[in-house]
């Protein structure tokens, strides 16, 4: 590790990282805030030695969302980070083209963002669509960036139940921060207010796919009942503390894409998702 | 020979002192501007010195008498010595006066020497140990050289050896008293102290007044650094105040954090600020250190950061986060230095500029921003505690005599009992009251003490806007922190209200016989003064009057009234929770146990929580409202209930 850190500071001193940030929403009160995973992505960018993160936001920008965006700038106290590029978009625009154009112009080696936004469609599709458009590889759900050396990023991907998978990916690449990534530092008011929002004048492309959609309020999803047949307190505790054992699950390895797709389809039919 | 030497010595000492004074003034003026009433401050200075300062010093009779003799003798002797020996005014009368004042000072210095023979821990040693000898050198030297002037002994007595010896003694005295005063010796406290009293940033404190609300930070200036990150970020008169410290250590003796072994010593903190304003290391400090932190490892300069992002600078952040803002140090300081202001100024920088508020503090601030309460509860659940009470809401009622401010205790199960008791009392006394309900927000006390002035001002402004839509005569609250903030800190932001702590309000109701109580039949009771009610707002009597009206025999603790020891719950200290050797509430409970009381009456949700958190067995902790409500004689219902069940016609 020691060696890695040293080589990082030596050879990658001019590493440019772009962090895509969005306006979050507090789960209880719905007030605008910095999105948790996006803030973790910025924290992750700070953790890379010698990196100079650039902040990028695409979307509509009014006063409350400006305050929320400034929270990211508030994390930049004591670093060089003092501005945020805003690509102002209409509320129902497709932000992928604008982001892709801006990223092409900026030319970062690594793009970091949260796995899923807290507002808007919140589909989690943005990093994939962006990677597809730019033709870059994508690493999802990153918990930690271990090193960036000679154009290769080594990252730990967060898997369920605290498992980690080490991935080496050639740059340029897109990485999304998982909720398991280190908690973001506090946002300080002074740097947040002093930081600059640079408005970049780009057109907004209409989101054609979205025009056909019917938007309705979300329903609460039914929860699978967990039937516990415990007779003692100890067993009840064990059942409550135990991780859910799928039981019926299967591990399929070395499958052809077609066979894998068939297996998924079969499961979806079995669960009644597909009819 | 003395005739020629003395004027030279005195004039030279005076000239050097003036140079030193100019240098010192220059150091203070590196601070930020702070407008003061220059001439009226100077004019009122002697009165502040002789009355207000002496009033605090006189809490220790020994040292106040010693100080009157020494300082009084010195001031007269110094002026007369300059006139008689410096300018050679040949007056037997003045010479006799000079002899008398020098003698007076000498007697005083003997008592200083006696105190210094086996000094208590709180006193600084080092240069301060030579002070009694220097005082004696000055007084004795002046006394002896004045004897010929007064005609007691012939002018040519003794030889050149005696003259040289005497000159040496006088020179030592002059060096300590004149040069030391402005070049940073122990006597600096006289020079800086006098000017500090003249240009104090809270002149309201003099003449028996009170000024305890924190001063608002100007957030509109985007360029100015927020809070005090460097010594020169303090207001100039704050720097002057630090320089006035006489290192008597009274603050140290009363500081709950210091007693608990947390890394804070108010005296050392002020001395560190002096190091910061003059530049250098703290190696020259000779008092008790911050517990667990050796002296000599920290250094600073006017333009250097007080708290480093990494490593050591002038002060470590945990020192600043140990403070409970109980104001005991400020209350005890004979120089009327504002320790709490300085600590909050530095916390403001840590939170607003560095963003390195310790862990739990960040969470509390984020909750306050997102949910308007420190624990992150849904703002819609603020009234859940009163679901069965059918409380009148201001939004429905429009106006009421009394606005009951619930505070964040509304979310706390323990404090909900107090609130219910208070509602019971208000109803028994037929008080026309209403609550803001879910429109109420945290008062901002916690955010402000965490240094987050921006969140405080945001909460305060929104609360003030809500309060503007309600019509009421007064606000009553059972939380002294809300009480203090609403009463003393909202006016600067445009909200002035008549605010009562519930103990004051209940005392008033009882004095007017608004409800009846049965006499208390328990054992002895003691009362714990909450800092934010007592020292911050001077309310010591009302809670005791309520307890007495209940027929209680109140046993006082050793440390009660203005000397009350903090419970450890203020100033965001429980949020940050800096480790020490003991817990502050344990020490306070020890004070309570010493009285032998079986019950301790409190008037603050924080105190209740802290004292009830002490390991049992310990005296019961009850809020004043609970004690009153428990002994309430419920008024006869207005419509007597019919004794039999109402007949119900059953339809088939």
Instruction: Say whether pLDDT at B22 is over 60.
Output: yes
Region A22-30: mean pLDDT is: 93
Q: Is the torsion defined by CA of B226, B232, B238, B244 positive or negative?
A: positive
The pLDDT value recorded for residue B7 is 86
- B222, B354, B370 ranked by CB distance to A26: nearest: B370
Instruction: Say whether pLDDT at B156 is over 80.
Output: no
Of A183-187, A235-239, B9-13, B499-503, the poorest mean pLDDT is in A235-239
Instruction: Say whether pLDDT at B142 is over 60.
Output: yes
Instruction: Say whether pLDDT at B230 is over 90.
Output: yes
Instruction: Say whether pLDDT at B157 is over 80.
Output: no
Rounded Cα distance, A187 and B257, in Å: 29
CA B268 to chain centroid, in Å, comes to: 16
Region B338-356: mean pLDDT is: 96
Rounded Cα distance, A131 and A174, in Å: 7
Q: How many helices (H) and strands (E) does chain A have?
A: 9, 13
Rounded Cα distance, B514 and B121, in Å: 52
The pLDDT value recorded for residue A248 is 65
Residue A28 CB burial class (10 angstroms; 0-12, 13-18, ≥19): middle
Query: Using 50, 70 and 90 to split pLDDT, how confident is the model at A1?
Result: very low
- A29, A77, A186 ranked by CB distance to B362: nearest: A186
A127 backbone dihedrals φ, ψ, rounded to 5°: -60, -35
Share of chain A above pLDDT 90, in %: 57
pLDDT digits over B436-486, tens only?
Answer: 999 999 999 999 999 999 999 999 999 999 999 999 999 999 999 999 999
Rounded Cα distance, A110 and B204, in Å: 59
Instruction: Say whether pLDDT at A2 is over 60.
Output: no
CB count in 10 Å sphere of residue B55 = 13
Q: Measure A238 CA to nearest chain B CA, in Å.
A: 30
Region A154-169: mean pLDDT is: 92
User: Is the preceding omega at residue B232 within 30 degrees of 0, hence cis?
Assistant: no
Q: Measure A190 CA to nearest chain B CA, in Å.
A: 5
Maximum separation of any 2 CA atoms in chain A, in Å: 66
Please name every residue paired with A18 in a beta bridge, in sequence order, or none if there are none. Answer: A54, A111
CB count in 10 Å sphere of residue B492 = 14
Region B269-296: mean pLDDT is: 94
Q: Answer yes or no: are the C-beta atoms of A191 and B309 closer than 8 Å.
A: no
Query: Using 50, 70 and 90 to split pLDDT, how confident is the model at B399?
Result: very high
Region B164-185: mean pLDDT is: 88
**Spatial CA neighbour of A37 closest among A136, A182, A192, A173:** A182
> Which tokens hold the place of A251?
């591990």
Contact B379 A29 (CB under 8 A): yes
User: Which chain A residues touch B370 with a CB distance below 8 Å?
Assistant: 26, 28-29, 31, 33
pLDDT digits over A31-50, tens only?
Answer: 999 999 999 999 999 999 88
> Which tokens hold the place of A23?
């306006």
The pLDDT value recorded for residue A183 is 94
Distances (CA, A) of B440 to B393, B462, B505: 11, 9, 21
Query: Using 50, 70 and 90 to split pLDDT, how confident is the model at B163?
Result: confident
For residue B404, give the H/E element and its range.
Answer: strand B399-405
pLDDT digits over B401-430, tens only?
Answer: 999 999 999 999 999 999 999 999 999 999
Instruction: Say whether pLDDT at A243 is over 80.
Output: no
Q: Answer yes or no: are the C-beta atoms of B442 and B575 closer than 8 Å.
A: no
Q: Is the torsion defined by CA of B304, B307, B309, B311 positive or negative?
A: positive
Q: Measure B323 CA to nearest chain A CA, in Å.
A: 22
**Spatial CA neighbour of B568 closest among B271, B336, B363, B264:** B264
CA B230 to chain centroid, in Å, comes to: 22
ipTM for the predicted complex: 0.87
Coil, helix or strand for B550?
coil
Query: Using 50, 70 and 90 to split pLDDT, how confident is the model at A164?
Result: very high
Supply the angle between the helices B605-612 and B413-428 in degrees, to the nearest 10: 130
Residue B637 CB burial class (10 angstroms; 0-12, 13-18, ≥19): exposed
Spatial strand order of the sheet with B499-501 comes to B433-435, B399-405, B471-477, B499-501
**Spatial CA neighbour of B528 closest among B440, B608, B433:** B608
Region A117-141: mean pLDDT is: 93
The pLDDT value recorded for residue B640 is 44
pLDDT digits over B606-630, tens only?
Answer: 999 999 999 988 999 999 999 999 9
CB count in 10 Å sphere of residue B279 = 14
- Under DSSP, the state recorded for A85 is E
Supply the angle between the helices B453-468 and B359-371 in degrees, to the nearest 10: 30
Rounded Cα distance, B309 and B316, in Å: 10
Disruptive mutation site among B229, B352, B355, B361 for chain A (greatest number of A CBs within 10 Å): B355
Nearest residue of A to residue B219, measured between CA atoms = A190
Quote the mean pLDDT of chain B.
Answer: 92
pLDDT digits over A50-99, tens only?
Answer: 888 999 999 988 888 899 999 999 999 888 899 999 999 988 889 999 99
Distances (CA, A) of B68 to A23, B55, B141, B368: 66, 12, 20, 51
Which residue in the block uniquely carries the two structure tokens 């006035």? B244
Q: How many residues does chain B have?
A: 652
Query: Using 50, 70 and 90 to split pLDDT, how confident is the model at A194?
Result: very high
Q: Where are the domains of chain A?
A: 2-207
Q: Answer yes or no: are the C-beta atoms of A197 and A66 closer than 8 Å.
A: yes
Instruction: Supply the DSSP string of B441-502, one letter for each residue.
Output: ---SHHHHHTT-HHHHHHHHHHHHHHHHTSEEEEEEES-HHHHHIIIIISGGGT----EEEH
For residue B527, give the H/E element and its range.
Answer: strand B525-527
Region B492-520: mean pLDDT is: 94
Mark out chain A residues that contact chain B at CB-CB < 8 A: 26, 28-29, 31, 33, 74-75, 77-78, 185-191, 193-194
Contact A189 B452 (CB under 8 A): yes
The pLDDT value recorded for residue B88 is 80
Disruptive mutation site among B227, B230, B352, B363 for chain A (greatest number of A CBs within 10 Å): B352
Instruction: Say whether pLDDT at A184 is over 80.
Output: yes
Beta-strand relationship, B516-517 and B632-633 = antiparallel
Q: Measure B311 CA to nearest chain A CA, in Å.
A: 15
Nearest residue of A to residue B355, measured between CA atoms = A188
Contacts with A, B 431-460, CB within 8 Å: 452-454
Coil, helix or strand for A192?
helix
- A29, A186, A193 ranked by CB distance to B222: nearest: A193
The pLDDT value recorded for residue B644 is 47
pLDDT digits over B39-82, tens only?
Answer: 999 999 999 999 999 999 999 999 999 999 999 999 999 999 99
| CA angle A178–A180–A184, rounded 5-degree value | 85
Q: Measure A186 CA to nearest chain B CA, in Å.
A: 5
Instruction: Say whether pLDDT at A26 is over 50.
Output: yes
Annotation: CATH topology of A2-207: Rossmann fold (3.40.50)
Query: Using 50, 70 and 90 to split pLDDT, how confident is the model at B290?
Result: very high
Q: Measure A29 CA to nearest chain B CA, in Å.
A: 6
Nearest residue of A to residue B309, measured between CA atoms = A78
B109-118 burial: b if 16+ Cβ within 10 Å, else e: bbbbbeebee
Query: Using 50, 70 and 90 to split pLDDT, how confident is the model at B186?
Result: very high
Instruction: Say whether pLDDT at B158 is over 90.
Output: no
Instruction: Say whether pLDDT at B1 is over 80.
Output: no
Give strand ranges (E) for chain A: 16-20, 23-25, 32-34, 52-59, 83-88, 93-94, 110-114, 138-149, 152-158, 164-170, 173-177, 196-200, 205-206
């Amino acid at each position: 590790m020691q060696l890695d850190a040293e080589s990082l500071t030596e050879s990658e001193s001019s590493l440019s990282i772009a962090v895509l940030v969005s306006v979050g929403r507090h789960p209880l009160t719905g007030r605008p805030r910095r999105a948790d995973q996006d803030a973790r992505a910025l924290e992750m960018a700070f953790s890379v030695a010698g990196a100079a993160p650039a902040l990028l936001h695409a979307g509509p920008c009014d006063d409350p969302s400006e305050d929320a965006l400034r929270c990211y700038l508030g994390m930049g106290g004591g670093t060089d980070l003092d501005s945020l590029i805003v690509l102002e978009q209409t509320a129902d625009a497709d932000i992928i083209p604008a982001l892709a154009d801006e990223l092409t112009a900026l030319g970062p080696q690594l793009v970091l963002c949260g796995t899923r936004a807290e507002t808007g469609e919140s589909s989690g599709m943005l990093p994939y669509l962006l990677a597809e458009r730019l033709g870059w590889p994508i690493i999802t759900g990153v918990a930690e960036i271990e090193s960036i050396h000679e154009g290769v990023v080594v990252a730990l991907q967060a898997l369920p139940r605290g498992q980690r998978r080490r991935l080496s990916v050639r740059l340029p690449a897109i990485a999304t921060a998982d909720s398991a990534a280190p908690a973001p530092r506090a946002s300080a008011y002074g740097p947040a207010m002093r930081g600059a929002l640079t408005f970049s004048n780009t057109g907004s492309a209409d989101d054609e796919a979205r025009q056909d959609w019917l938007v309705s309020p979300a329903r609460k999803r039914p929860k699978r009942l967990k039937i516990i047949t415990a007779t003692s307190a100890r067993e009840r505790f064990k059942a409550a503390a135990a991780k859910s054992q799928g039981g019926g699950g299967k591990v399929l390895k070395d499958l052809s894409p077609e066979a894998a797709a068939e297996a998924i389809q079969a499961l979806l039919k079995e669960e009644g998702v597909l009819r | 020979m003395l005739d020629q030497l003395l004027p030279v010595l005195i004039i030279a000492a005076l000239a050097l002192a003036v140079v030193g004074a100019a240098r010192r003034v220059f150091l203070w003026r590196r601070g930020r501007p702070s407008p003061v009433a220059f001439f009226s401050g100077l004019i009122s200075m002697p009165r502040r010195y002789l009355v207000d300062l002496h009033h605090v010093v006189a809490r220790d009779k020994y040292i106040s008498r010693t100080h009157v003799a020494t300082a009084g003798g010195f001031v007269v002797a110094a002026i007369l010595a300059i006139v008689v020996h410096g300018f050679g005014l040949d007056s037997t009368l003045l010479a006799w006066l000079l002899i008398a004042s020098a003698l007076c000072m000498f007697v005083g210095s003997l008592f200083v020497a006696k105190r210094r023979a086996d000094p208590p821990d709180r006193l600084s040693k080092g240069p301060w140990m030579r002070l009694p000898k220097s005082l004696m050198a000055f007084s004795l030297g002046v006394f002896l050289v004045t004897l010929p002037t007064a005609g007691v002994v012939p002018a040519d007595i003794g030889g050149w050896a005696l003259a040289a010896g005497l000159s040496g003694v006088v020179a030592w005295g002059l060096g300590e008293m004149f040069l030391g005063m402005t070049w940073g010796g122990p006597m600096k406290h006289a020079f800086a102290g006098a000017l500090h009293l003249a240009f104090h940033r809270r002149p309201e404190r003099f003449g028996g007044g009170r000024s305890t609300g924190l001063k608002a930070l100007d957030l509109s200036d985007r360029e100015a650094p927020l809070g005090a990150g460097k010594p020169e970020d303090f207001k100039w008169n704050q720097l002057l105040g630090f320089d006035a410290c006489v290192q008597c250590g009274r603050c140290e003796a009363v500081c709950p954090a210091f007693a608990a072994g947390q890394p804070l010593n108010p005296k050392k903190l002020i001395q560190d600020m002096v190091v910061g304003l003059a530049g250098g290391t703290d190696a020259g400090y000779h008092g008790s250190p911050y517990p667990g932190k050796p002296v000599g490892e920290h250094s600073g300069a006017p333009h250097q950061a007080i708290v480093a992002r990494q490593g050591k600078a002038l002060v470590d952040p945990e020192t600043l986060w140990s403070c409970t803002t109980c104001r005991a140090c400020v209350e005890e300081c004979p120089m009327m230095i504002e320790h709490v202001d300085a600590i909050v100024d530095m916390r403001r920088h840590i939170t607003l500029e560095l963003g390195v508020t310790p862990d739990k503090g960040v969470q509390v601030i984020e909750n306050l921003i997102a949910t308007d309460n420190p624990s992150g509860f849904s703002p819609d659940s603020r009234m859940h505690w009163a679901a069965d009470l059918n409380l009148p809401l201001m939004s429905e009622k429009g106006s009421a005599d009394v606005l009951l401010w619930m505070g964040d205790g509304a979310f706390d199960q323990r404090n909900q009992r107090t609130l219910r008791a208070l509602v019971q009392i208000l109803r028994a006394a037929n008080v026309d009251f209403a609550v803001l309900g879910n429109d109420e927000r945290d008062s901002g006390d916690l955010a402000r003490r965490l240094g987050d002035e921006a969140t405080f001002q945001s909460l305060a402004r929104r609360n003030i806007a809500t309060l503007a839509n309600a019509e009421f005569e007064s606000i009553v609250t059972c939380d002294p922190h809300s009480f203090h903030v609403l009463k003393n800190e909202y006016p600067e932001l445009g909200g002035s209200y008549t605010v009562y702590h519930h103990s004051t309000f209940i005392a008033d109701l009882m004095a007017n016989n608004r409800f009846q109580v049965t006499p208390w039949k328990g054992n002895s009771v003691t009362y714990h003064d909450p800092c934010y009610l007592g020292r911050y707002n001077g309310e010591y009597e009302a809670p005791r009057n309520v307890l007495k009206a209940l027929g209680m025999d109140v046993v006082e603790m050793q440390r009660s009234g203005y000397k009350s020891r903090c419970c450890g719950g203020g100033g965001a200290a429980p949020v940050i929770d800096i480790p020490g050797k003991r817990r502050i509430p344990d020490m306070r409970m020890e004070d309570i146990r010493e009285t032998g009381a079986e019950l301790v009456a409190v008037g603050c949700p924080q105190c209740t929580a802290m004292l009830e958190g002490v390991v049992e067995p310990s005296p019961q902790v009850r809020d004043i409202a609970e004690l009153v409500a428990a002994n309430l004689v419920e008024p006869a219902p207005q419509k007597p209930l019919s004794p039999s069940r109402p007949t119900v016609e059953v339809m088939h």
